[in-house]
Structure 1
Amino acid sequence: MISIVTPVYNGEQFIESCLQTVIAQACDEIEHLIIDGGSTDSTVSIIQKYANCYSHIRWISEPDRGQSDAMNKGIQLAKGNVLTFLNVDDYYELDTLNQVNQRFKTLPEPSFIVGNCRIWNDHGEVIDINKPSKLRLFDLVLGLNINPYPCNPCAYFYHRSLHERVGNYAIEDHYSMDLDFILRVVQVAHVYYVDEIWGNYRRIAGTKTFIDMESGECDRRVRQILRKYRQHLTPVEQFQWYIWKIWHQCRTIVFSALRLCFRTIKRFFRR
């Protein structure tokens, strides 16, 4: 069974569509756990209405210490052997859960499986498709501009037993807990990439993630995490990383010099 965990706080704008996207999957072997942080808007009443009609919905509402704390509560309450997280403003592609459930029936434990994720802006436009095809630790610590990591949990699923190996989400981390968790997971799990779109992630102006990205704090924090996990590379991989870094810096210098040369030549012939 797949346990889908949705942390939410004052999410009345999206909670109904979140519940509906799971219902629309028409998947029998699921449970949807809503972990509400004590919302003061109509979120809880909407959850109650749906929970009264659908037995796969379970929920709690109590104060928490942030998103990571709510996610960890969901892990503790989950009954399924497969776990995923669906943020309140995101949604699945149709039939994703049935496909994932079938795949896990033949996967070794513990496994971590990743699909693609569409990224939408406020205007309902697709601005990118996240395709994290390279998921070794070495590949990921090269940098997100080289090999993107899974950008949203609606497009990845894993055996709940992985938390026994790598621990839960860091409660003190309110922004980069997903990346930190993934970098722990890829070191111990059977990791698989599926080139299919499974998730849809809304990058909405005004949300904490959007503000964090706009401020530049996200990039700084990611670089810090990647530096931390480079220490987990084997000696051979660390040597390869240093060689790659030197090559990448040299290539950047050469390309910059060539661009400057071409601009100089263009100005010369315009005279």
Structure 2
Amino acid sequence: MTDKKPPYTEPPAAGAPEIPARRGIKSYVLRAGRMTAAQERGLKDAWPKWGLTLADGRQDLEQLFGRQAPCVVEIGFGMGKSLVEQAERHPETDFIGIEVHAPGVGKLLDEADKRGLTNLRVYREDALAVLADCLPEASIDTLQLFFPDPWPKKKHHKRRIVQLPFVELVRSRLEPGGKLHMATDWQGYAEFMAEVMAEAPGFINTAPVATAPFVERPDFRPLTKFEQRGERLGHGVWDLIYRRD
């Protein structure tokens, strides 16, 4: 129902950075598949302009974008449609996308190149490593986590990215007053997220009492075609927005 997890990936294509091996339980699975010409073009032609790797080290965001501006980071942007739309719609804001699936990275880069966007950078890396090693403390205005893999089986819940250590890491990278915005189309995962956030210190739920712990979908989160189809079928989507105190 969501475009956030394409059903394939491929062996690393020319120009695509390798995903380093990391210890611990991963919240994603890489799958083999084919690359389209547009995706290949994005990785080959646009990656040198906007691609970032762990080897680049700790970033100075003002230097990276050549200006001082709010920075929004999105983890798991899938095929990148909504992130490109946000970057185009908000030229006053800088965006960093993190995604491990090469087709999505290639597609986003190709679209960004066609639209001439300059306020967007991309990592094809493990998001936890990017947060820990590349993004400075108190540097992010908003972190977006839209439709992450729900890992619905109970025995797989440990693979869900929303865990207390992840939330604590996110908080350290948010500016005071910065926001963590999550969305999922799995009610069980939405409730799981709310339970984790209830245990996490230093966050304030922005939901009104009437809908707590959830908020109505804000206008600034683009509505995907899969979400639109889900709404027609009566499927729910749950948004959660928390502010760092």
> What's the TM-score bracket when you normalise by the shorter of the two chains?
0.3 to 0.5
Choose between structure 1 and 2: higher helix proportion.
Answer: 1
Q: Which has the greater radius of gyration?
A: 1
Give the TM-score taking structure 1 as reference length: 0.33
Give the TM-score taking structure 2 as reference length: 0.35
